[in-house]
Structure 1
Amino acid sequence: MSEGPRLAVIGAGPAGLVAALAAAARGVAVTLVDAAPDAGGQFYRQPAAGLGARRPQALHHQWRTWERLRDGLAAHVAAGRITHLTEHHVWCVERQSAPRTATSASTASASAPASFAVHALFGPEQEESVAVRADAVLLATGGYEKVLPFPGWTLPGVVTAGGAQAMLKSGLVLPGRTAVVAGTGPLLMPVAVGLAAAGAKVAALVESADPRDLVRHARVLAAHPDKLAEGAWYAAELTRYRVRAHTRHAVVAAHGTDRLEAVTVAALDTDGRVREGSEWRIPCDSLAVGHGMLPHTDLAETLGCRLDGVNVAVDDEQRTDVPGVWAAGETTGIGGAALSLAEGRIAGLSIAARLDSRAPEPRSYARAAKARAGRREFFAAVDNVFTPPGRWVERVGDDTLVCRCEEVPAAAIREAVDELGAGDVRTVKLLTRAGMGWCQGRMCGPAVAGLAGCPPTPSRRPFARPVPLGVLAREPGEGP
């Protein structure tokens, strides 16, 4: 690595990759830290090399964009401008400079230069730790799926929609031979088409929203003909593979003994209630279900970054309100790969300029800023339509597990609220242990909040993932 300003990029998905390339091209020494064995993130997830995939591009669209990112990363790594740390799981980012003096994102550059230590676990058992020193940090940690519970959702054979896609992209395997894809959101169509193209029988695509409601946002949609063409292509593929789509419907129960055998699907009214007498069963051995996505904000919360709702708040340069910390991609709001690429480029250009004690030239990222504004507007319209169905809590029986890690049923959460007086998610957690398991509430958090009738609250965990006690017991600077 060359001497000079140092940047740590956490996450090698679209946002992290393009930011690393932009900063490295302008003289910044970049360390790209990622948990996966290869760059690309979830969107550009690649099959394992040992599988010998002959046409990996068949699993992706925007393949040429990925090739440019991949080749650019390889060139910078070969030149010593980027160090790419794979299979490194970041558990904490430590700010080592004086406390910040800025109070908002717009004044973030007013404080003294920052210094950070990015702590990551690596190795077969993740018992070794490494600290990456940097003058600036970009959080490009992506998002994760939101799944709302229903009877039978813990059966083997029930996976998240993104999980089914990841199995196909990285392992070239199907979750089952006969699948139902259900939930809500734009991800369902690519998942259904991908499974069908790979040889699965997709018995149904069950969407709780009504895509016809997109007509209300015709002006916004018309400004993005590429996205309309993409949606039309997926719809045509569903027709080609004879996948029947059921809109304003939901999977209300999954059935089976040792594993999934069938699901019950029902029509929903405009309030999200099940229409009486509309239920029917679909035999299947796999169910891919998802209800949208949430941003990963653990590291941002630990650093004290301000959140805007569930998203990390940033300014026009993708700066957080913590000096020296930028954020880009899904962590600042779910919006797809194109938005992540635009935000990542803006962040990379801003970091390179700010580490050189100058403001970035507006012209240098005008195109990316325009793309960012358009994509944000587009996905705001999409989010307005594809929201989880109302009244979903009414379909969660008392014996339905909500927190899988700690095996907490819905009845315990309702008791904590109705009989024990819990008025927030933290109190529910203390009374029931919901959210105290291995996932630390990442999977069950939205469901617990929904059942308790409380808004989700930031966790502010000291660590972003479980850490071996031996790692914490070592003195600073001590080897593994």
Structure 2
Amino acid sequence: MTERPRLAVVGAGPAGLAAALTAAAQGARVLLVDAADQAGGQFYRQPASGLGARRPHAPHHRWRTWERLRTGLERHRAAGRITHLTDHHVWCVRRESESGSRGFTVYALRGPGQEEGVTVRADAVLLATGGYERVLPFPGWTLPGVVTAGGAQAMLKGQLVLPGRTAVVAGTGPLLLPVATGLAAAGARVAALVESAGPAALSRRLPALAAKPGRLTEGAGYAARLLWHGVRVLPRHTVLAAHGTERVEAVTVAALDRAGRPRPGTARRVRCDTLAVGHGLLPHTDLAETLGCALSGTAVRVDAEQRTDVPGVWAAGEATGVGGAALALAEGRIAGHSAAARLYGTAPDPRRWAAADRARTRARAFAAALDAVYAPPAGWAERLPDETVVCRCEEVTAGRVREAVGTLGAGDARTVKLLTRAGMGWCQGRMCGPAVAGLTGCPLDPGRRPFARPVPLGVLAGLPDTE
């Protein structure tokens, strides 16, 4: 890099793209850093270019919005306002003020094995790091063929492959609808869509949900496609266990009572070779925590301009609270306006700012209503057998976690981690963190880590001593 970029945007999903395009339109020099080889994030994930997809839009919705974002990115790149670094996995962002300088240093890994270290510097940073899936464990969830709902969707969108021929989609949350319809449209037989939420929960939030009629229409469209494909929908049901020897062969599902607990006598087996399961998303806050940004619960705390409490750091999208692509786009635009204005001393267009602010308000209200509807089933942790593996990386069972609390006196998640090694593996607790919190009764507080992802020792050894 021969020119110091002014604004580094980490993440090229809806929030990151909206922020980068908005800031560039105001004259900012933007460095867009993303781990994927194409922009779009998880929501607009594209098939690998070598696959030669004839209908890349088929697994997507809101394709026109993506086309506008892609066109804008290409235009700003051609004009030199945006530098897009693909296949760059950011593992740390450091404030240079700590060493007597100004600005920030962004550390990333690139290459086939992510073994090459890259360092870039910026005057400000905008974090659009997205979210990751929450999966609550159950007996058999470690069997081959059990994937996350988002993982199944990523395979379909990015690689144009099915995770299996006969699928069950289960858990809770609005993501299950596009996953089930996408698998069915691609040729899989979706034996059941198992959703722990029920119609009554939706009807109670109908006034708030009606504020976004387009989303309700979208949901109705998914329901119609599920009906057309003959997918059996089981509301107020949950998966109790997955069964199989070398891979999943069937799942046991049961109806839930009003308290969210399985009703006796309702268990049934559904044959399948794939189970796509998810219980919503959690914000990705690793980089924000490394910078010392304050959190509100599990999300990055921001003000009306999407600024964090660390000067020069903005955040937008799922990292500030899971709310979907529409909210991420609105927050990204506001963050881009604010960052460019703060860096260059220019005032943002008041009409565009007001429009983005209105969109953000509506999207946040809609997201809050969905959160109330799609809550995990009550008492799931109590029903988890002791022999069920909770931490897959370190093979820690639910019984060992309970022993750490009940017998060894652990009173917080960190002590449980030290006593059991739950959360010390490759994923650093991203998969097992919610389960451990549920089993121990501790709040799900993200743990501050120096690195956002595993880093080769050679990369660390190659850094200057001052870093």
Once the two structures are superposed, what CA deviation does each residue of 1:278-316 show, in whole Å capped at 9, x if it has no partner?
101001000000001000000000101010111101011
- Counterpart of 2:210 in structure 1: which amino acid? A
Matched residue, 2:386? 398
Aligned to 1:103: none
Confirm or deny that 1:128 pairs with 2:105.
no
Contact 2:4 2:122 in 1 (8 A): no
Q: Deviations over 1:69-99 (max 9, x none)?
A: 1111111111211111111000000100259
Alpha-carbon shift at residue 196 of structure 1 (Å): 0.3
More deviation, 3-12/417-426: 3-12
**4+ residue segments displaced more than 2 Å:** 1-5, 357-364, 475-478
Residue 95 (structure 2) aligns with: 95
Aligned partners of 2:401 and 2:416 also within 8 Å = yes
Give the structure 1 partner of residue 29 of structure 2.
29
Deviation of 1:2 (Å): 9.4
User: For residue 344 of structure 1, what is the aligned residue in structure 2?
Assistant: 332
Aligned length: 466
The residue number in structure 1 matching 2:144 is 156
Which blocks of at least 5 consecutive residues in structure 1 are unaligned? Answer: 100-111
Q: Distance in 2 between matches of 1:51 and 1:396?
A: 42
Is structure 2 residue 169 aligned with structure 1 residue 181? yes
Contact 2:5/2:121, CA 8 A, preserved across alignment? no
Letter in 2 for 1:62: R
Structure 1 residue 212: deviation in Å? 2.7
What residue in structure 2 maps to residue 107 of structure 1? none
Residue number among 265, 275, 281 corresponding to 1:293 in the alignment:
281
TM-score for the superposition, normalised by structure 1: 0.95
Instruction: Report SS of the residue matched to 1:233.
Output: helix
Deviations 1:381-437 (A, max 9, x none): 011010001100122111100000000011100100110000110000000000000
The match for 1:194 is 182
Moved more, 75-84 or 279-288: 75-84
* Alignment partner, residue 108 of structure 1: none
Q: 1:356 corresponds to which residue?
A: 344
CA contact (8 A) 1:211 1:385 kept: no
Task: Give the residue type in structure 2 aligned to 1:309.
Answer: G
Moved more, 209-218 or 334-343: 209-218
2:355 equivalent in structure 1:
367
Aligned to 2:450: 462
Measured after TM superposition, the shift of residue 222 of structure 1 is 1.9
Q: Distance in 1 between matches of 2:465 and 2:305?
A: 34
**8 Å Cα contact 2:165/2:273 also seen in 1:** yes
2:57 alignment counterpart? 57
Residue 458 of structure 1, CA deviation: 2.3
Which of 128, 150, 153 lines up with 1:140 in the alignment? 128
Q: What's the offset of the Cα at 1:247?
A: 0.8
Q: CA deviation at 1:114?
A: 4.8
In the alignment, does 2:152 pair up with 1:168? no
Whole-angstrom distance in 2 between the partners of 1:379 and 1:364? 22
1:272 shift after superposition: 2.0
1:251 to 234, 239, 243: 239
Counterpart position of 1:428:
416
Q: Which amino acid aligns with 1:381?
A: A
Gaps of 5+ in 2: none
Residues in 2 aligned to 1:430 and 1:136: alpha-carbon distance in whole angstroms: 36
- The amino acid across from 1:374 in the alignment is R
SS in 1 for 2:75: helix
Contact 1:252–1:395 (Cα < 8 Å) also in 2 = no
Q: One-letter code of the match for 2:166?
A: T
1:12-44 CA deviation, whole Å, 9 max, x = no partner?
000101111111121111111000010000000
Matched residue, 2:259: 271
For 2:97, what is the secondary structure of its paired residue? coil
TM-score (norm 2): 0.97
Q: CA deviation at 1:144?
A: 0.5
**Matched residues, percent identical?**
73
- Please tell me the root mean square deviation across aligned C-alpha atoms, in Å: 1.7
Q: Distance in 2 between matches of 1:192 and 1:464?
A: 31
SS of residue matched to 1:416: helix
2:4 is equivalent to residue 16 of structure 1: no
SS of equivalent residue, structure 1 residue 154: coil
SS at match of 1:38: coil
**Counterpart contact for 2:5–2:31, Cα < 8 Å:** no
Q: Which residue of 1 aligns with 2:221?
A: 233
